[in-house]
Amino acid sequence: MESVNLALKQFLENEVEPLSAEGDHSFATLNKLFKLLGERGFYGLSVQANLSNKAISKKESFDNRACLTKHSGALSFLNSQIDLSSNLLHQGQNESLKQTILAPLLKGQIRIANGVSHLRSDVAHIQVQKTQEGFILNGKVHWITGFGHCDYFVMAFCDAECEYFALLPFRHLALEGLTFSEPLQVMVMQATHTVRATLDNCFIANEQIINTQEKGFWYQQMKNSQHILPYFYGIAVGALEVIQAQYQKENTYLQGLWDTLQLLREQITAEGEKDLLDYRVNITRCAYDCLQAAIVVSKGKAMDPNSKISRLYREIVQFNALAALEEYVDRSLQSYS
């Protein structure tokens, strides 16, 4: 991860790593780390660079997220909410909200989650009635991560022609017709607080729309995005570091895993068009192989729920289920034949 932001790397090693296991199940600990991440200036790094007329390379962006994941998958997943919302705001058409919300977001003064995953489904989860002043929405958003951590969330909905992304308050009783469930019980990253939202004749004003895109925009974003791949690289590197700390013998299999991982990183971050689905299948398989080797080397320590290898193994389940488009499912299953 030689391209990683050095200040971010130091923050993660010194302040996040010692609390990574606790942050997986303690809301207070994860919330503290999430706020610190923003206060230190690490929210929306690609947008920050763009606003400064600079550019972050694909490799640096990849390594930043991978390094975050290696030290805390829960913190990395929360930070991905900021990356997504800051990009939607920055690239959106609502100049008023861009002026009032984006700067505080990038300074770590506010945080924004996302409720957008339902757009990739063929089922219409939200019924939309368009009015002159905005939209009346009815339905459910089944997966919004960051309740209690974030002040707002970007909610996506669509009609026959367009996909809309609206900025809504992410707290109880803040908007008429919008309610949230209690945090869902999940096997990993419980402290990230994932909830469901119910919309009951909820009115969304035109002024709350931050971005409007053609129908199918979000599905293509997920299909063509490489933002998920660094999660698996970070987990794999974390697993190999566990092995390195406990097993000093030379081993051609372990060297092969490392070489494969570095080749995949180089290929994924290279310029030009590529089939990201195949790369996701391959880097996921490599990460699982690294984890399996680390479990064998760790022996009984792998059973400790607070051990690094135990955390990494739980986290890969979360990330492998993330944005599991039908094409990815098909390609993944084919790879086992």
pLDDT digits (tens, 9 = 90+) for 172-183: 989 999 999 999
| Domain boundary pick from 71, 91, 106 | 106
Residue ranges in 145-228 assigned as alpha helix (H): 217-224
Q: Does residue 41 register a pLDDT over 90? A: yes
Tell whether 148 is covered by a domain: yes
The DSSP line for 190-204 is GGG-EEEEEEEEEEE
Q: Does residue 123 register a pLDDT over 70? A: no
Tell whether 98 is covered by a domain: yes
Q: Does residue 142 register a pLDDT over 70? A: yes
Q: Of 10, 62, 76, which is closest to residue 311 (Cα–Cα)?
A: 76
3-state secondary structure of 335: coil
Tell whether 337 is covered by a domain: no
Tell whether 335 is covered by a domain: no
Mean pLDDT for 19-39 is: 95
* CATH number of the CATH domain containing 25: 1.10.540.10
Give the number of other Cβ atoms within 10 Å of residue 302's Cβ: 17
Tell whether 260 is covered by a domain: yes
250 class by beta-carbon count within 10 Å (0-12 exposed, 13-18 middle, 19+ buried) = exposed
Query: Are 124 and 40 members of one domain?
Result: no
Query: Are 248 and 201 members of one domain?
Result: no
Query: Are 240 and 318 members of one domain?
Result: yes
Q: Does residue 255 register a pLDDT over 70? A: yes
Give the number of other Cβ atoms within 10 Å of residue 237's Cβ: 23
The tens digit of pLDDT for each residue in 85-104 reads 999 999 999 999 999 999 99
Which has more pLDDT, 150 or 326? 150
Q: What is the per-residue pLDDT for 324?
A: 76
Query: Are 20 and 68 members of one domain?
Result: yes
Q: Of 141, 108, 69, which is closest to residue 311 (Cα–Cα)?
A: 69
| Domain boundary pick from 69, 88, 106 | 106
Query: Are 172 and 102 members of one domain?
Result: no
Q: What is the per-residue pLDDT for 122?
A: 63
Query: Are 122 and 180 members of one domain?
Result: yes
Q: Does residue 224 register a pLDDT over 70? A: no
What are the two backbone dihedrals, phi and then psi, of residue 253, each rounded to the nearest 5 degrees?
Answer: -65, -45
Tell whether 242 is covered by a domain: yes
Query: Are 319 and 281 members of one domain?
Result: yes
Tell whether 300 is covered by a domain: yes
Q: What is the per-residue pLDDT for 328?
A: 82
The tens digit of pLDDT for each residue in 260-282 reads 999 999 999 997 777 788 899 99
pLDDT band at 9 (very low <50, low <70, confident <90, very high): very high
Q: How far is 122 from 127, CA to CA, in rounded Å? A: 13
Q: Does residue 19 register a pLDDT over 70? A: yes
Query: Are 241 and 278 members of one domain?
Result: yes
Domain count, the chain: 3
Q: Does residue 32 register a pLDDT over 80? A: yes
* CATH number of the CATH domain containing 128: 2.40.110.10
Q: What is the per-residue pLDDT for 81?
A: 94
Query: Are 154 and 243 members of one domain?
Result: no
Domain with 297 in it: 225-329
Query: Are 102 and 72 members of one domain?
Result: yes
| Domain boundary pick from 185, 215, 245 | 215
* CATH number of the CATH domain containing 283: 1.20.140.10
Query: Are 124 and 81 members of one domain?
Result: no
Q: What is the per-residue pLDDT for 40?
A: 95
The tens digit of pLDDT for each residue in 289-332 reads 999 999 999 998 889 988 999 999 999 999 998 877 788 888 88
The tens digit of pLDDT for each residue in 199-216 reads 999 999 999 999 999 888
Tell whether 201 is covered by a domain: yes
